[in-house]
Amino acid sequence: MGNFRDKLVRFLYGRYGTDHLYYFMFAIWIIISVAGLIVRHPVFYVISIVIMLLMIFRSMSKNIEARRKENAFFLKFFNPVKREILLLKDRIRDIKTARYRKCRHCKALIKLPKVTGRHTVKCPKCGGKFDVRIIF
């Protein structure tokens, strides 16, 4: 068994492996595969095979610099979307206790306690003051 392990280690040495783009493609692959099981259309099957082959190609590639560039390009667009989704999750979680408003001066997002009425708020980032109205 040790001989097989050594051969496997030598084979995988210098390969790129997994990254954020790989995990995103894996999630898309799962979604398309499940949709293909429900719809039973050959297009879903072909798309899932193509995505899986691309995932294997990227993880087994020895051209590490090209794979890093691909991942950096993906993260450039994915990180802002991820940030907005996490902010939406926080807003939904805090809906009973807090409200979120943007500072009119520096555009920073400020978490305010849920107290109805008009208030003057001081931004903790830039120190600017502005009026806020919390309705409900």
120 shares a domain with 75: no
Residue-range definition of the domain harbouring residue 81: 2-93
88 shares a domain with 102: no
Task: List pLDDT tens digits, range 2-61.
Answer: 799 999 889 889 999 999 999 999 999 999 999 999 999 999 999 999 999 999 999 999
78 shares a domain with 11: yes
Neighbours of 96 (CB within 10 A): 6
Reported confidence tier of residue 133, pLDDT bands at 50, 70, 90: confident
64 shares a domain with 8: yes
Average the pLDDT over 83-102 and give the result. 91
Average the pLDDT over 53-77 and give the result. 96
104 shares a domain with 86: no
Residue 79 to residue 75: CA distance in whole angstroms = 5
- Domain total of the chain: 2
- Against a cut of 0.75, is the pTM above it? no
Which 3 state secondary structure label does DSSP give 13?
A: coil
pLDDT of residue 1 exceeding 80: no
Average the pLDDT over 111-132 and give the result. 89
DSSP assignment of 25-41, as one string? HHHHHHHHHHHHHHH--
116 shares a domain with 80: no
88 shares a domain with 104: no
108 shares a domain with 83: no
48 shares a domain with 35: yes
72 shares a domain with 136: no
